[in-house]
Structure 1
Amino acid sequence: MKFAYRFSNLLGTVYRCGNLNFTCDGNSVISPVGNRVTVFDLKNNKSNTLPLATRYNIKCVGLSPDGRLAIIVDEGGDALLVSLVCRSVLHHFHFKGAVHSVSFSPDGRKFVVTKGNIAQVYHAPGRKREFNAFVLDKTYFGPYDETTCIDWTDDSRCFAVGSRDMSTWVFGAERWDNLIYYALGGHKDAIVACFFEASSLDLYTLSQDGALCVWQCDTLPEGLRLKAPTGWKADLLQREEEQEEEEGAESETTIRGKATPAAEEQQGKVKYSRVAKYFFNKEGDFNNLTAAAYHKKVHLLVTGFASGIFHLHELPEFNLIHSLSISDQRVASVAINSSGDWIAFGCSGLGQLLVWEWQSESYVLKQQGHFNSMVSLAYSPDGQYIVTGGDDGKVKVWNTLSGFCFVTFTEHSSGVTGVTFTTTGYVIVTSSMDGTVRAFDLHRYRNFRTFTSPRPTQFSCVAVDSSGEIVSAGAQDSFEVFIWSMQTGRLLDVLSGHEGPISGLCFNPMKSVLASASWDRTVHLWDMADSWRTTETLALTSDALAVTFRPDGAELAVATLNSQITFWDPENAVQTGSIEGRHDLKTGRKELDKITAKHSAKGKAFTTLCYSADGQSILAGGMSKFVCIYHVREQILRKKFEISCNLSLDAMEEFLNRRKMTEFGNLALIDQDAAEEGGVAIPLPGVKKGDMSSRHFKPEIRVTSLRFSPTGRCWAATTTEGLLIYSLDAQMLFDPFELDTSVTPVRIRAALRQRDFTRAILLAFRLNERKLLQETLEAVPWDEIEVISSSLPDLYVEKVLEFLASSFEVSHHLEFYLIWTQKLLMVHGQKLKSRVGTLLPAVQFLQKSIQRHLDDVSKLCDWNRYNLQYALAVSKQRGLKRPSEPLGSEEEAGASEDDDDDSLHLLGGGPGHADAPLA
């Protein structure tokens, strides 16, 4: 239970590639993020990533009409049937080829998959358990080039498929006699989107060169006739008819309600005619149309272009409603919600997701991750916020509860190398390659202090002491450590002594001692209280890459280039242990590697370390897809987490794919650049991010920073995929403590009936079942809480505090649990001081939960206070206008009362609708 961490959420990446979808209620956006799917709940202001992953990046997502099921297809053609209700995978399937788009029929009985130049219709999976959930119904041929888009008619009788060969094909989902297939031309570029009109076969087609064709059909959907069966089906029906005739049926029979062949011959085939053609690029500037969406009820067409501009048109008149530029990058996907009010845009170049309310011309959601990879992260002291820094020079602050970024600082002009919070939690300090260290205020969201060095230097790391008064940063080129005062911003001292770049800094949480790790194979300990002199120098066997203190300051951990983690006693400068991590890193083989993964792992190491909240374990990650938790004292591996299974990233597979091997060697090495000398372009040693100019650029999986939450219930990692958060699995219910045969739910409830509350609480915590714990604590009368608290043993106080902290997140009994918390801390406060180290995570978890309630209640109180002031001001204004004039009639009196009621109706409506976060 202690290390049952599971993937919880993905922050920092909101959109990568694929198509966006709104849920059927229109309140949530489903966005593909790499090989995962994130659901952004716009009404409740939360984002959540589904705990599932595909083998490659997701190419398309198809949503069922009832919003219960989703088909997720990756770039390799592997599909997952996912239940959005229970958030789990129901079925796996492989389409044997790259799939471009998936679309359910409006009745939910079928879905179409386009791959290559064909379209395949499958029976949609039902609600019953089936051996094969995907059953192929028909395969449709017609286009000569790759298919690009799908759209269904409202009655699910026909669907249209667009292609890169500039044609659009209309197919019948059933065996219609007057519509088998119909090809539409008229375009001079690839088809981007096609849409049917509501309750009609009329069609709109849009091509990449910005042309819109309006097609009118001469047949209504009800005019489609089922084709008479042929072959063995016709013989079977003929036998049935003969049997009916023998029984004396004289009436003229039709084949199951279908039209007779004579009637079919009289009626003609379905015909289309083009009634209009419009162009988006009227000024003559060439701007490719890249994405489109159409709302059939309000006749709203939204088109996105390669320049980042989008247009809103009303069809079929093609009236321009709105035009706006959202970025300078290509709009990759567009979606409209069910009411037609909100429009979602995805820009893959920037990793940006926007939701735009076109009637009020305002953003409902505006989120963007780091343009380049994240480098560092830090938790706030209460665990509510995470700050991240990236190579793009941005500093972003994320709310761990909502998963949204609520502020972005862009003052740095180069990559951010380190971020940290002060102990107050309201100041963020960052270091950057631009030669500055900056302090940001989370109250006013501004850069209030900038620290610089006498001569320009690049800072590689930053640290702030426990008082928040001393800021230190390590230089990458001058090998010095700079010390500034937070209050004055003045440079206090420059610590020299290292002979290599500074790779890590960390302050002792309990003393004014600074540890600095360097590539010169040493760690220096500097005493801040004694003129910043060097107290100790720890000699290492290899270059130091990361350094961190244990939460109680009694131990120091250093990660080195030879894949080792060494532990030191900072008081006596003695090494107390070491962990060999080379075998646990298990790196994969890159496509361009000429050596095996086993030999390439010799050059890999841990680059980031973090102690757990209780200091008994250490979390390590680095040049690998694995994150390891080690037991410090026993020096053994407790658990290993694989942060990604996405094969679209490099260095994921341990062995080369046999299909990529030819008689001349690895196909990737041959195709890379045959014109170069030797025929192979090998990246430079140590290059982690690859060559950006290469056509075959694939980012390499890396863990750049790790941090445990102060509450100890979750940890976060900045990786190539984004900001991953792992939290304790709440589904594991049975985790007893000192259990014996006398502890049963029956005895606990018997103790409650006898009003022996202390014994009931002790038994309940030994059984450790959440519902029983809640029942036991809530059975205690509020006026007896102080007496019961004083009778609890010290060992159980910590467990009660942890339970209270977790209960604050879900329970409505706020005052009752606050009384419990107050009495426990007041009664046991002096005794708990001796166990500060073990109790700190529980107290911080408690603080985080109470702080969240404080923020919510304070917003509600402010909202009500302002509305009451407004209501009083309105009533005074009316009283001043007519101080002695009586109301003329009962109607006027009723009207004035209604007006006052309307102004007071606002009292409860404030915090219910949270503002959309802007980043």
Structure 2
Amino acid sequence: MKFAYRFAVLSSLCSNKCETFPLATRHNIVCVGLSPDGSLAILVDEEGAALLVSVIGKSVIHQFHFHKPVHSVSFSPDGKRFVITKDNVALMYHAPGKKREFNAFVLDKTYYGPYDETTCIDWTDDSKCFAIGSKDMSTWVFGAERWANLIYYSLGGHKDVIVACFFEENSLDLYTVSRDGALCVWQCDTELDDLKPMPPKEARQKNRVKDDDGFLEEPKGEEIHGKANPNEQEMREKVKYTRVAKYFFNKEGDFNNLTSAAYHKKTHLLVTGFASGIFHLHELPDFNLIHSLSISDQRIASISINSTGDWIAFGCSGLGQLLVWEWQSESYVLKQQGHFNSMVSLAYSPDGQYIVTGGEDGKVKVWNTSSSFCFVTFTDHSSGITAVTFTSSGYVILSASLDGTVRAFDLHRYRNFRTFTSPRPSQFSCLAVDSSGEIVSAGSQDSFEIFIWSMQSGRLLDVLSGHEGPISSLSFNPVKCVLASGSWDKTVKLWDMLDSWRTKETLILNSDVLVVAFRPDGKELAVASLNGQITFWDHENAVQVGSIEGRHDLQMGRKELDKITAKQSAKGKSFTTLCYSADGQSILAGGLSKFVCIYNVKEQILMKKFEISCNFSLDAMEEYLDRRKMTEFGSMALIDEGTGDDDGVAIPLPGVKRGMTFDLAVDDELLEAVLSHFSTFLLGDMSFRHFKPEIRVTCLRFSPTGKFLLPFLGRSWAATTTEGLLIYSLDAGLIFDPFELDIDVTPSNIRKKLHQKEYTMAIVMALKLNEKKLIQEVIEAIPGNEVDVVCSSLPDLYVEKVLEFLASAFEISCHLEFYLIWAHKLLMLHGQKLKTRSQKLLPVIQFLQKSIQRHFEDVSKLCEWNIYNIKYALAISQQRGVKRVAETSVDEEDLESDSDYLMQEVHNDNFSS
């Protein structure tokens, strides 16, 4: 089972937002243990390295290494201890902060018993005992302290691996679940309160541990050795378990493996997940079936139930799927799924509120940048996506695919409203749309042609021929109607869209062209080629104005099966994606490497290099060959070490980099039987990439609503990589960055000016000091009737600063009307002057638009939900003065008075709620 190496935590299911912790491990995280109070978490990776993390502070407190892979981690319900299992041993540690020790992990006891690897842990409610399951089909019950009548107990009765074990509430009664779909109910003859502590003298005698080797790898603490078949003398006056029932989840002849389970003790609800994506809900101990539903076609890897027992969370590692299901109402609380294969392209919406991504699985997903959730997925394409983009309006998404179509999706109605095709079937490798959103172009990688369509009519306008190799990249000039196309034939052609699509200019390069990008002002063209160079062209005069040798900055790592060094391997690598910053002074470049580089275009130097991953579970991460992984037969990566659950063979197929699709022409019944038994094997990736993907960056984009990361960079940028969609940003709130600072500009003087009602001077001084809280204090202290006067007297230099502050203030402030008045007055009074430098102010205006749009959506939803309650309240208030008809009978009058009383009660309840 593979998980992301970054630890992501869901902050709130009610607010529908999530966040990622700013920490990472060196390998994939395989198990997580959370303390009962939710303040601490233990993360353990594939190699056994553990991080103790503060969930509140979002920081690493302590690092520890268990020296071997860990299978499970579990805190005791009282939070004083936690147990980890590795190999066939269970280690119990004192929880951090519960003992006066300098070491965060203090070993208390070591438990031996199972013959094979352990699989699961569960504690009793009073933290006196815990149970562990094993692959040897046995379950062991151990005492957290040395009880006289319970030191250890072994339970059998299963014919397959133990998947989960659960104690009953406030009891030693136990449920065990195995992979073959069997549930055993075990009843104990002793209650928890009847456990007797062992005499201190006898306990000390049993604590003696002989050290035959003279040293130990780590302190063992007290050791408890369990026996599978104890003699009668050892079992005398001990607890005794009896199996009272055995149930089966699967029907006879059904080989659907049970992969995960969870049990809620208060409601006696057992949830089990299977390899086919089906889950069952049973009520114990009677084993009454409540639900049996299918949520996926992949194995359910993990299940969790919330404290009240209403919500059930499912995780499917094969699809990257997370579901939260409310079982009583049978509805989804949360449903999120990433791309099945790698992401290959991304694009920001003009206001920066959304990101669209396209993947090799043929899906187009739209993500909300504020909540980090995907809110719509388009599955109309039948093959991998190669490029995605937004139109200038921000409500239309275009995607190109290898299935030979370019599709347009409407974000208002969430549907595919245009499909562009070529006269002959072609695989489209790139896509571009002009600034007006009326002309759509796509390049073919098999016919070497560029196709031009009209967005309004959907008609094919023209086919541009001239390239002698596959089209690798297209880019429209943001200012002029000029299209630049790059090809593997070592040329870049410039096409004039206004002059019958003729070739305006041809730029000759020394190597295959991989990507082209125009500067935002349209006066410069950047070209990345196969030799690792980035060249800059004055396309008006067809003159090269600069170049950057980027091959040395890629620093490609060495793959496990490479026969050459990483230094030699890097000579064949290059940049495959480029993106200019908003002001065009810097350029972002990435490719077949774990590094993303930012260059200064004018000086042609490297300014900063970002390492997108430190995860050694990915390939091409290590710079040097690890001799410990080499044998006389070759690399150990060639050896199949899969467990049979979901791991594939590590030997790659010749020439395969992405994956294979199998076409089986067999009988339907035979195919269904084969897929039911070997679905994971057949549907998985048979190439090496499924076992260990290679790290790479496929697409980069700057946020159009960026503040300033450096004086000439946008605040945030996004990248689609092997790790997924990564967004890098800088919180500039802690950086002291004054502007034209004088000796008289101090917080006390600013407040003094504010007290003297010199509001314009106070704002200017606060902007010079550039302290966000102080600016907010000054602006919110200005009366609403003075906003018009203050806005008109603001110097032009500070209007942009105020607009930038207003955009950020909308994100955190509740004074919506007040800040809307400020934004309205500034734009009305200074609109003409701002229009002259619109190119420079575009990110700030878009950031302001994004903030206002987000609040508009939230408030409009609230109004729509309450509009009927308001109408009902108005209708009730209008009936108060209406006189009753005199001829009504006494019974009718009583009935009407009762109804009015009830209506008034409902009316009061609505307003109180």
Shared fold, TM over 0.5: yes
Aligned mate of 1:692, from 685, 689, 701: 685
Pick from 718, 722, 725: which aligns with 2:724? 722
Give distance in 2, aligned partners of 1:562 and 1:883. Answer: 94
State how 1:856-895 maps to structure 2 within 5 Å: 856-869=858-871, 885=888, 893=897
Query: Would the aligned equivalents of 1:336 and 1:342 in 2 still touch at CA under 8 Å?
Result: yes
Residue 902 of structure 1, CA deviation: 3.5
- The residue that corresponds to 1:13 in the other structure is none
Structure 2 vs 1, CA of residues 490 and 339 (structure 1 numbering), >3 Å: closer, same or farther? same
Shift of the 672–286 alpha-carbon distance from structure 1 to 2, 3 Å rule, reads closer
Q: Deviations over 1:135-173 (max 9, x none)?
A: 110000000000000000000000000000010000000
Matches within 5 A, 1:42-61: 42-61=13-32
Q: For residue 686 of structure 2, what is the amino acid of its counterpart?
A: S
Q: Distance in 2 between matches of 1:890 and 1:725?
A: 67
5 Å-filtered alignment, 1:352-367, equals: 352-367=321-336
For residue 99 of structure 1, what is the aligned residue in structure 2?
70
Does 2:477 align with 1:508? yes
Is 1:41 paired with 2:12? Answer: yes
TM-score norm. by structure 1 comes to 0.88
Find out whether 1:294 has 2:263 as its counterpart. Answer: yes
Structure 1: distance between partners of 2:48 and 2:763: 55
Q: Could you say if the C-alpha distance between residues 78 and 903 of structure 1 is closer, same or farther in structure 2, counting changes exceeding 3 Å? A: farther
* Alignment partners' CA distance in 2, 1:227 and 1:889: 79
SS at match of 1:230: helix
Amino acid aligned to 1:711 = T
1:138 aligns with one of 102, 106, 109: 109
RMSD, aligned CA: 2.8
Q: Find the counterpart in structure 1 of residue 695 from structure 2.
A: 701
Which among 389, 412, 416 is matched to residue 385 of structure 2?
Answer: 416
1-structure distance, mates of 2:568, 2:800? 48
Alignment deviations for residues 322-362 of structure 1 (CA, whole Å, 9 cap, x no partner): 11111221111111110000111111111111111111111
**Equivalent position SS for 1:38:** strand
Aligned twin of 2:803: 801
Match of 1:632 among 601, 604, 610: 601
What residue in structure 2 maps to residue 24 of structure 1?
Answer: none
Gap runs ≥5 in structure 1: 1-15, 18-31, 236-263, 674-679, 910-919
SS in 1 for 2:175: strand
| Counterpart-to-counterpart distance in 2, 1:214 and 1:289 | 17
Larger RCO (CA under 8 A, 6+ residues apart): 1
What code does the residue aligned with 2:866 have?
A: N
Instruction: Give the structure 1 partner of residue 772 of structure 2.
Output: 770
Tell me the secondary structure at the aligned position of residue 49 of structure 1. Answer: strand
Alignment partners' CA distance in 2, 1:224 and 1:70: 31
Alignment counterpart, residue 86 of structure 2, candidates 107, 115, 128? 115
* C-alpha displacement of 1:905: 5.4
Deviation at 1:514, TM superposition (A): 0.8
Give the aligned partner of residue 212 of structure 2: none
What letter is aligned with 2:132? V
Of 88-97 and 900-909, deviating more is 900-909
**Residue 20 (structure 1) aligns with:** none
Q: Which letter maps to 1:373?
A: S
Map of 1:341-352 to 2, 5 A cutoff? 341-352=310-321
Deviation at 1:561, TM superposition (A): 1.0
C-alpha deviation, 1:660, in angstroms: 1.3
Indicate whether 1:163 and 2:134 are aligned.
Answer: yes
How far has the Cα of 1:733 moved from its partner? Answer: 3.3
Distance 2:348 2:95 in 1: 45
Letter in 2 for 1:400: T
Aligned to 2:282: 313
The question of whether the paired residues in 1 share the 8 Å contact of 2:599 and 2:607 is answered with yes
SS at match of 2:380: coil
1:694, 1:513 → 2: CA distance? Answer: 42
Within the candidate set 62, 72, 88, 2:33 is matched to 62
Taking the aligned partners of 1:736 and 1:449, their CA distance within structure 2 comes to 50
Q: State TM-score, norm by structure 2.
A: 0.88
Structure 1 position 792, deviation (Å): 2.4
Match of 1:749 in 2: 751
Secondary structure of 2:462's counterpart equals strand
* Unaligned segments of structure 2, at least 5 residues: 207-232, 643-649, 661-683, 707-714
Question: Aligned partners of 1:178, 1:295: CA distance in 2, in Å?
Answer: 28
SS class of match (1:297): coil
8 A Cα contact 2:733 2:772, kept in partner: no
Amino acid at match of 1:425: G
Q: How far apart are the structure 1 equivalents of 2:876 and 2:298?
A: 49
2:822 match: 820
Q: What is the distance in 2 between the residues matched to 1:477 and 1:429?
A: 21
Work out whether residues 173 and 186 of structure 2, in 8 Å CA contact, stay in contact via their aligned partners in 1: yes
Counterpart in 2 of 1:229? 200
Question: For residues 836 and 99 of structure 1, do their structure 2 counterparts lie closer, same or farther at Cα, with a shift above 3 Å needed?
Answer: same
The 8 Å contact of residues 651 and 687 in structure 2, kept in 1 or not, is answered as no
After TM superposition, the structure 1 = structure 2 runs for residues 848-863 of structure 1, keeping only pairs within 5 Å, are 848-863=850-865
Identity %: 74
Give the secondary-structure state (helix, strand or coil) at the position aligned to 2:839.
helix
Whether contact under 8 Å (2:652, 2:686) holds in the other structure is no
1:837 Cα shift?
A: 2.0
Task: Say whether 1:214 aligns with 2:169.
Answer: no
* Residue 544 (structure 2) aligns with: 575
* 1:457/1:478 contact within 8 Å kept: yes
CA distance in 2, matches of 1:897, 1:701: 70
**Cα–Cα, structure 1 residues 315 and 609, in superposed 2: closer, same or farther, change >3 Å?**
same
8 A contact 1:160–1:168 mirrored in 2: yes
SS of 1:222's equivalent? helix
Alpha carbons 1:398, 1:404 under 8 Å: kept = yes
Conservation of the 8 A alpha-carbon contact between 1:579 and 1:635: yes
Q: Confirm or deny: 8 A CA contact 2:876 2:903 kept in the other structure.
A: no
Aligned to 1:787: 789
Secondary structure of 1:634's counterpart equals coil
> 1:657: how far off?
2.2
Q: Paired residues, what number?
A: 847
Per-residue displacement from partner, 1:658-713 (whole Å, max 9, x unpaired)? 3213466543368799xxxxxx9777579477993257821001111111111023
Matched, 1:455 2:424: yes
**Is the 2:656–2:687 Cα contact (8 Å) retained in structure 1?**
no
Which stretch shifts more, 643-652 or 611-620?
611-620
Asked if 2 retains the 8 angstrom alpha-carbon contact of 1:482 and 1:495, the reply is yes
Query: Could you tell which deviates more after superposition, 40-49 or 81-90?
Result: 40-49
1:248 equivalent in structure 2 = none
Of residues 140, 153, 157 in structure 2, which corresponds to 1:186?
Answer: 157
Q: Which amino acid aligns with 1:392?
A: D
